[in-house]
Amino acid sequence: MESEYIYHITTLKEWEAAKANNEYTPMNYEQDGFIHCSIEKQIPGVLERFYKGQKGLVQLKIEKEKVLRPVLFELAHDLDELFPHIYGALNVDSVVNVESIS
């Protein structure tokens, strides 16, 4: 069964700014065209590949049903795995938990 939650890693600073704006768009959004997310079991690999050694990170737990923009599961060809992508700004009320991870 597909999980009702997806996850996104960001900095505490970016998340604080998002709360002030009532929506979240990561710095690399313009370049990528979507917000990179993962399912719970993918988080350790994402942290290892993209965030190694970084401090001040938080993990956003997002309730998929509350996301106002399209959420598509798309293939990461280099990993042969599906990852959830949010096409548009994330409405902050879809985030049900924020956990500090470093």
pTM comes to 0.93
The domain ranges of the chain are 5-100
**CATH architecture of the region 5-100:** Alpha-Beta Barrel (3.20)
Rounded Cα distance, 78 and 90, in Å: 26
Supply angle C-alpha 81, 42, 87, rounded to 5.
Answer: 70
Taking only the tens of pLDDT, the chain with its 102 residues reads 457 999 999 999 999 999 999 999 998 899 999 999 999 999 999 999 999 999 999 999 999 999 999 999 999 988 899 999 999 999 999 999 999 997
